Homo-oligomer: A and B are copies of this chain.
Amino acid sequence: MRLLSSLLLAGLLAGGLTTAQAQTAPASFKTDSLTLRKIYDEALLRGQSYENLRYLCEKIGGRLAGSPQAAQAVAWGKLTMEKAGCFDKVYLQECQVPHWVRGAKEKGEIVGNKGKRISVAVCALGGSVGTGGKLRAGVVEVKSLAEFKALPDAAVRGKFIFFNRPFDDALIEPGAAYGGAGDQRRSGPAEAGRRGAVGALVRSLTSAHDNYPHTGATAYGDTPTKVPGAALSTMAADQLSQLLKADPSLQFELEMSCQTLPDVTSYNVVGEVRGSKYPDQFITVGGHLDSWDLAQGAHDDGTGIVQSIEAVRLLKAAGLRPERTVRAVLFMNEENGTRGGNKYADLAKQNNETHVAAIESDGGGFTPRGFNVESTPAVFKKVAAWAPLLAPYHADKLTPGHSGTDIEPLVAAVHPTALFGYDCDSQRYFDLHHTAADTFDKVNRRELELGGASMAALIYLLAKYNLQ
């Protein structure tokens, strides 16, 4: 692209309401429009979230609940909030969290009937039991839990069940494909153990064709027999599937020394700005401080964390004091327990708090699209009226939909008026999700800062206007 097109665009896209929008919008929208521009200016010109994320990713790194790194992240979160200079108080909320550790041994090999061994990329699923030494067995491939359930007991007993359902690439949202294929990871090992299989091998939950295995939580529920569950990279899964076609009697050898240790004390980190008019009405903004252990947890969910702190800082830097109380919350243990989210909701209920709204950012730090909204249709209509204010920033897609795992427990506990999930460009998220590739260098500074500014803009509007 050369210069001319950009010159012509410059005038059109400098931000602010269009003339037509300004004419039809309520009078207060003009003030709001100027306020939002201040927020985005601060984010883009003097944003702090990118450098905060660099520290979290590169100095602390992967921080699964219960790990020493998670404890470091709690201390870092508290300090970072204090240094942001925008909170009236910063404090911790204690909770007990599960403590699963990967262990040093993690190896998978395809073993041919002539003893030929091919090492493939595997990782333990979070929460899996270990193999107790080397575990070797034949492999039965299925594409779904239903297909597995239809197999006779004799076919599955003593085998590895290889759940090889790929993402449905035709879906526009990779998150929808994740939803569709995810049961094999979540329930595959439990179902395999229930029927006498020795373990589960699960195709990584991604559209990407590469050699990263994707971890993530698996749950045994009330299964009497817990068998190990491992993720295979998509390349490894394709290779195993192909070799199985040629030799259905091949074996797989898995060795994993992962284990679950006793629960550990950990914390949510909370920063609070007291509302100027309605201090007893709360607006929460948050992401999750824990991450899987394989990488730096950059997009999942370091970006949500630093955006949540930044959103509150942007309000202050733009000279705004919210009329309602705003809390930034760094939730602990989203990935394998939601103990932090549950604790936050429990305390809110216990303290009889009135929660107006909550926003969660846990879909990566990519270019904003807008927000998913959980509310009544009447409340949604009020929120949707804000779209023109967000349009200059391409953050005006307001869609009824799910908000987030950590703020969801608030619904039953304190019945907030509306919950919001930050919605951003979703195409790359599952390339990185729960893998060693989820690192700081995958985050673009401007995309991240635009997200934090969009969250700040929504908080500003929520703190000013009565949604009910």
Contacts and interface: CB of A to CB of B under 8 A. Distances in A.
Interface of A: 1-10, 12-15, 40-41, 44-45, 169-176, 178-180, 182, 186, 207, 216-217, 300-301, 334-335, 362-364, 367, 369, 372, 392-394, 397, 399-405, 408, 421, 425, 427-429, 431, 433, 444-447, 450
A301 B5 CA distance: 15
Contacts of A182: 3, 6-7
Contacts of A15: 170-172
Q: Which 4 pairs across A and B sit closest by C-beta, in order of nearness?
A: A6-B179, A7-B179, A10-B176, A6-B175
B174 A363 contact: no
A179 B8 contact: yes
Contact of A394 (B172, B207, B363): B172
A428 B444 contact: yes
Copies of this chain in its oligomeric complex:
2
B427 A446 contact: yes
Contacts of A446: 169, 174, 207, 427
B402 A367 contact: no
Contacts of A2: 216-217, 334-335, 405
Contacts of A402: 4-5, 8-9
A13 to B, nearest CB: 4
B176 A40 contact: no
A6 B186 CA distance: 13
A201 to B, nearest CB: 19
A375 B369 CA distance: 27
Given A178-B3, A369-B394, A446-B207, A171 B14 contact: yes
Contact of A6 (B178, B301, B335): B178
Contacts of A393: 172
Given A44-B169, A367-B367, 18 more contacts: A1-B175, A1-B301, A1-B364, A2-B217, A3-B186, A5-B362, A5-B421, A6-B179, A9-B179, A9-B401, A10-B173, A13-B172, A13-B176, A45-B170, A169-B446, A427-B444, A428-B444, A431-B444
A4 B405 contact: yes
A170 B369 contact: no
7 contacts: A5-B175, A6-B182, A10-B175, A15-B170, A172-B393, A207-B445, A427-B447
Contacts of A44: 169-170
A371 to B, nearest CB: 13
A171 B45 contact: no
A427 B408 CA distance: 31
Contacts of A171: 10, 13-15
A179 B425 contact: no
Nearest to A421: B5
A294 to B, nearest CB: 15
A465 to B, nearest CB: 24
Contacts of A41: 170
Contact of A399 (B1, B12, B362, B408): B12
A9 B173 contact: yes
A246 to B, nearest CB: 25
Contacts of A363: 1
A1 B367 contact: no
Nearest to A173: B13
A356 to B, nearest CB: 21
A5 B369 contact: no
A408 B13 CA distance: 20
Nearest to A392: B172
Contacts of A428: 444, 447
B5 A404 contact: yes
Nearest to A5: B402
Contacts of A399: 12
Nearest to A403: B5
A389 to B, nearest CB: 13
